Amino acid sequence: MQGLDDMTNRGAALKAIVAYSAPLEFNMQAAGWISVVSAWLIERFPDSGLAAEWAALSSVELGLPLETPSQLKRTLAEQKIDERPRWLAGLPTKAALRAMAMPQEVNKQSLETGRREVKLTTTSRAVVDPARIEALRSISHPDYDLTKLIRFCEELNLAFATESYLSMAMLTRAIVDHVPPIFGKQNFAEVASHHGGATMKRELNNLHTTSRNIADLHLHSKIGRKEVLPTITQVDASNSLDVLLAEIIVILSL
- C-alpha dist (Å) from residue 130 to 15, 47, 133, 151, 201: 39, 27, 5, 12, 24
What whole-number distance in Å separates Cα of residue 117 and Cα of residue 121? 13
Give 95's pLDDT tier (boundaries 50, 70, 90).
confident
Average pLDDT over residues 211-236: 88
Average pLDDT on 45-61 reads: 85
The model's pTM: 0.57
Q: How many other C-beta atoms are found inside a 10 Å radius of the C-beta of residue 138?
A: 10
